[in-house]
Each structure stands twice: as C-alpha cells, then as structure tokens.
Structure 1
Amino acid sequence: MVSASLPSPDTISDSEFREYLERYPACVAEISEAKGAKPGQQTLARLDEYRYGTALDTFGPASPDAVMGLDDVKTLVEWKLRHGKFRPTLMKLVSSNDPDTVRNTIQEAIAHYRNKADVSGTIDMLAKLKGIGPATASLLLAVHDPDNVAFFADEAFYWLCCGGVKAPIKYNAKEYADLNARARKLAQRLGVRAVDVERVAFVLMRQPEGDADKTVRKPSEESRVPSAKEAPAQKPPAKIDTGSKQEKRKASGDGPAAGSAVRRSKRGKQQA
C-alpha cells in the first residue's frame, strides 16, 4: 500500500514523473541552504553538482577508460553523508583505504560489471573496501552506469519498496537487489534513467507533506469543489439568541495532534 499523499511507482505517469524530476534542483538547493557548510566544507549543492554532473561525465559510459581513485570516492561519500543520513565514522573508514587498493578494486569490479552485467557480484567486489557496504558500493556503481543502476538511497527504498513509508532499512544485498529491480522496472516503463528514478524518489520523500497533491496530482471527482450552478441552494443561517449570557458557549480550537514520528532501527555498523 502506497502512502495516500504519494503517487505509486507502478502507476505514476510520465508527466507526473518529469514534473517531480524538474523540482529536484530546487529541492536540493533549499536543503543545501538550510544545512549550510562549515569552513572548508563544500555545500550540498556543490557536492550534488559533482555527483550528478562531473562524476557522471568522468566515469560514466562515455569514459570507459577512466579509473576512480580514493579522492573521488571520498567526494562521493561526502555527498552521500550530506545528501542522506550522516554516519560520523564512515569517512574515516573510507579514508583509511590504500589509494592503490581503491583504484585496483574499483577497476576490477567495473570491468567485471561491464563484461557480465552482474550487479550483485560487482557490489560484493566493491564492498571489500573498508567502509564500503552495499549502499556506498551501489553509489560507486551507479556513477559508472546511471542508466541502469540506482543508488541505494533511503528515499528510493522508502518509495519503491515500502510504499512511501519510512520503514527500517537493513542495508543488505537482498534489499538493494529489490530496490534496483523496481527502479529498473519503472525506468523501462517510462523510458527514463535509473538515476532519474533516484532523484524523483528524493523529491517525493523530502518535500513538505501534501505538496504532491498541490502541485502535480489532479483532484479526484469526489474532492472537486462544485461550481456555483452545481452547488445546492443553502438556507440562511438561523438567528442566534444572545439575550442570555448563561446560554453562550465558548468555541474550542483544540484538536488531535497531527502526525507522529516514525521509529527507525539503529545500525550497529557504520558501514553502509
């Protein structure tokens, strides 16, 4: 069951999808401005330009001979930490990798992927690096093949696999296989890229509640406001006797609190 405020991945139309995709830059810019950046730290907006611009140009299908190094991995991990859930020890673990080991491991893994189109096997190879679990491994692979591989982002998992509900995530290979399969199915249905599915999911899960209905989805027949001709005639309100103070009653504006926080399970490991 999909959250009532979100379109389903199975039924979202091409026009709806593209409208959400167009909102991604503004969504990230707003979050980037709210988060800010410490001295010497890049903003989320700048890191996002690297993730979806420079990195794809440098390591994507158009540049099959480019080899990703440790500094590139660190920049992508920094983007991941500022774009999603922050893990305080992840960058330290990733930085502790030997630069030559990083280059050789990634080069072998990507060669394996391009020869066999084996997503699962490639994720396992990349996850041999320190601090690189299935989620970060999927990010490295998604940069090399943005058309067919989606990043294991929380927002993508919530929308594609949990019906828009923020359920606990184990960040294991099985969950990622499910996420990537669903992302590819949607991408093929609409003729879009896996990287686009990833960004649309981010907008859907990060937008203020109710924005989906206000900006994209059309009102249903039941919720449509009738025109003046269609609206039934209404009787004038009855006069209220205000003669006696004892008969006056105070109106109360109190109501039940709206919304509730969703509990998330904490992972003991910082690797993701």
Structure 2
Amino acid sequence: MPPRKKQKTASESSDSAQDTPKDFPDAALLTSGLKQYPDAISLRSREHTKAPDELISLDKWILDDLTTKITSSQPVNKADMTSLMKWKLSRGKSRPTLLALIASNPEALVLRSTTDALKTVRGAKDDLDRALLALTNACQMKGVGAATASALLTLQSPHLLPFMSDEAASFFASTLGQIKYTDAFYKKFAAAMVAEVRRLNASSESDAELWDSMKLERALFTISILKKHGQEHILGSDTNAPSVGTSGSLKRRRDS
C-alpha cells in the first residue's frame, strides 16, 4: 500500500504555489493605502453618529497602550478585551450582543485565556502553525471567535498573525471564497496574508519598507474604505495608477 501523501502545514502552504488573488493591489497602491490609514479610520468613524470619535480614540489606544501592554507581557484583562471588542465592532460590523458576551466572562477566565494565547504566540516565533494554536486559548472566552482572537493576537505577532477584517479578507475572495468566521478560514487567511507579505518583501528595496501582516491588513482596509466613500483618488494623483473597482478589485483609471 503506497504511503499517504504528507499534508502541507499552513507555513508550508504560504511558501508554496499559493496564487496571489485576482486583481490584488500592487505594492505602490498598498504603500499609499497604509499611509492613508488614519483617513480611513476617520471616514469609518463618521458612520457612527452616536459616538463619532470613539473609533479614533480606540484605534490610538490599541496601537499605543494595548500594544505596549502586550509586548511587555503585562496581563490583558476584561476591561481591555471589552475595549478591543468595541474597536472591532466600530471598525467593522456592529454586533452589540458580543459586548454583552465579553462582559459575561469571569475576570479569571479572561486573564487565563489571554495569557495562555499570547504566551503561545510568543513561543511560536516565526512558526505560523504553532502561532495558530493560540486560537484555542483565546476562543475559550464567550463572544470570542477567530476574528476577535486575531485582533488580540496580531498585537503580539504583527509579522505573522493578521487581524481578520472583512475588508482585508474580501480581497482574497478569488482564492479563499466567501468569508467565514471560523478557525479553519482564519488559518487559510493568515497563510495567504503571510504569503503576500513575503512576496512584497522579496521585492522591497530597503528594510525600512518591509511589510508585515498588520501593515498589509491596514492597507487593504484603507483601500476598501476609501472606495466605499468615493475617496480612492487620495491614494494617488497619477491617472494611470490603479484604483479600487466596484467589486473591491482593482482597475486602471481612464485618462480624463
């Protein structure tokens, strides 16, 4: 009986013949998108009439305070997870029931789950498959699925684990299919993002321009939001530069 064919790990898949999605943004557009991330957050925040400035404040808190807390191995508590959930829901789809579920978790469970998850990611270093094991730890909390877990884990390992926003995941529709909020889909999404990061860095001219999964997610988010608000022109003034198409793909602008 012939031996079974060895299954590829997520890390091996990201290095192998994983195709770049159809009409994926090129490096120039992604670079412009990353620079315009604050504008995208500002535009998204205006959609929330009750608390239009909350997303901007939460985004700054995550990038500064929570990131510092996590990278210095300080415990992440229920108040932190509640704020992280508010950020996720303000930046994406509003699902108020998730806030109630997060609040229902005992403090001890939150501390144990976040500590174990972040410890797993730290120990994984550059091993994507080992890092993905942290999903099990993080998802022990009520209200936390793969997407919310990724919002936490990317702060510990921005080079490896991306936040799974709808905006970023939508760019992989041609290769990953419809977005699913499952561990299995997130693992494929993370591997696809890592593959794109490596392609971008392979053609980078300097270390200062190196990409990671967090930067790529922000760039994709920005491109999607600017298109939604009809502001994609701020990504570049070159009439031959690519712009976001009506379905989230890219197309060349016509000379006017």
Q: Same fold (TM over 0.5)?
A: yes
Matches of 1:18 and 1:78 in 2, distance apart?
27
Q: Quote the Cα distance in structure 2 between the aligned partners of 1:151 and 1:114.
A: 17
Deviates more, 1:82-91 or 1:214-223: 214-223
Equivalent residues of 1:37, 1:43 under 8 A apart: no
Pair 1:163–1:211, CA change in 2 (3 A): farther
In the TM superposition, residue 113 of structure 1 has moved relative to its aligned partner by 2.4
Return the TM-score normalized by structure 2. 0.73
1:124–1:134: 8 Å Cα contact kept in structure 2?
A: no
Match of residue 35 from structure 2: 22
Note the 1:42-61 alignment, pairs <5 A: 43-60=54-71
Aligned partner of 2:34: which letter? Answer: L
Corresponding residue for residue 8 of structure 1 = 24
Q: Distance in 2 between matches of 1:162 and 1:85?
A: 18
AA paired with 1:126? A
Tell me the residue number matched to 1:262.
none
For structure 1, the residue ranges without an aligned partner over 5 or more in a row are 226-272
Shift of 1:139: 1.1
Q: Which residue is 2:223 aligned to?
A: 204
Is the contact between residue 44 and residue 225 of structure 2 (CA under 8 Å) also seen in structure 1? no
Query: Quick one: structure 1 residues 174 and 164, their matched pair in 2 at CA, closer, same or farther if it must change by over 3 Å?
Result: closer
Tell me, yes or no, if structure 1 residue 186 matches structure 2 residue 196. Answer: yes
* Correspondences of 1:26-175 after superposition (within 5 Å): 26-38=39-51, 43-60=54-71, 63=72, 65-116=73-124, 117=127, 118-159=130-171, 161-163=172-174, 168-175=178-185
> Deviations for 1:135-181, whole angstroms, at most 9, x for unmatched residues?
1111111122222210111111101x21599x742211121111111
Secondary structure of the corresponding residue to residue 46 of structure 2: helix
The 1:214–1:52 alpha-carbon spacing in structure 2 relative to 1, beyond 3 Å, is closer
Structure 1 residue 223, shift from structure 2 partner: 4.7
Larger mean Cα displacement after TM superposition, 122-131 or 139-148: 139-148
Task: Kindly tell me the number of residue pairs found equivalent between the two proteins.
Answer: 212
Distance in 2 of aligned mates of 1:142 and 1:170: 19
Asked whether the equivalents of residues 120 and 134 of structure 2 are also in contact (C-alpha less than 8 Å), the reply is yes
Q: 1-side partners of 2:175 and 2:239: how far apart?
A: 19
The answer to whether the 8 Å contact 1:158/1:164 transfers is: no
Q: Distance in 2 between matches of 1:181 and 1:88?
A: 30
Q: Measured at CA, do residues 103 and 213 of structure 1 come closer, stay the same or move farther in structure 2, by a change above 3 Å?
A: same
Q: Which runs of 5+ in 2 are unaligned?
A: 1-19, 201-209, 242-251
Note the aligned Cα RMSD (angstroms).
2.9
Which of the two has greater helix per residue?
Answer: 2
For the residues of structure 1 that align with 2:95 and 2:133, how far apart are their CA atoms?
A: 25
Judge conservation of contact 1:8–1:163 (CA < 8 Å) in 2: no
Q: Give me the whole-angstrom Cα distance separating, in 1, the residues matched to 2:235 and 2:141.
A: 43
Deviation of 1:212 (Å):
4.4
1:213, CA displacement in angstroms? 6.5
Question: Larger Cα Rg: Structure 1 or Structure 2?
Answer: 1
CA contact under 8 A between 1:156 and 1:179: conserved in structure 2?
A: no
